[in-house]
Amino acid sequence: MRKFRGDTLIFPIAITNKKDGTPVNLSGVAIKFTLNIVPPVDHNTPGITIDRTDDQGKFTITIPHEAVTAAVKGLYPMDVEILYPNNRKSTLFVVELTLVGEQTP
């Protein structure tokens, strides 16, 4: 995944059942993520939003540009996980985020 350093990063995510494609209801789950830039950004970083539509299995992680402006160009791992009310944890995915130079100074 390639994004521009200093841009607002928006990650729309939809979770569906592998067998039949129906949405996974996310009611009651905690959604967590970490983007391993320096300094790291995660679900507790001020300004981060996670907008949810639980019954449709959808959520969008938005990282404001201020949170990534200090990051240098490079390749950074990002993981997203959910924690169920019964304390079961599931890593949804890990991606390599490539931050490239800004388009406009």
Within a domain: 8: yes
**How many domains does the chain fold into?**
1
Residues 6+ apart with CB under 8 A from 23: 14, 15, 16, 17, 55, 56, 57, 58
Structural domain of residue 88, as residue ranges? 2-100
pLDDT tens per residue, range 62-84? 999 888 877 888 899 999 999 99
pLDDT tens digit string along 1-60? 888 778 899 999 999 999 999 999 999 999 999 999 878 899 999 999 999 999 999 999
Q: Assess if residue 105 is contained within a domain.
A: no
Is there a domain that residue 62 lies in? yes
Asked whether residue 86 is domain-assigned, the answer is yes
Instruction: Say if residues 34 and 42 touch (Cβ distance below 8 Å).
Output: yes
CATH number at residue 94: 2.60.40.10
Longest dimension (CA), the chain: 48
Whether 47 maps to a domain, the answer reads yes
CA torsion angle 85 91 96 99 (round to 10): 0
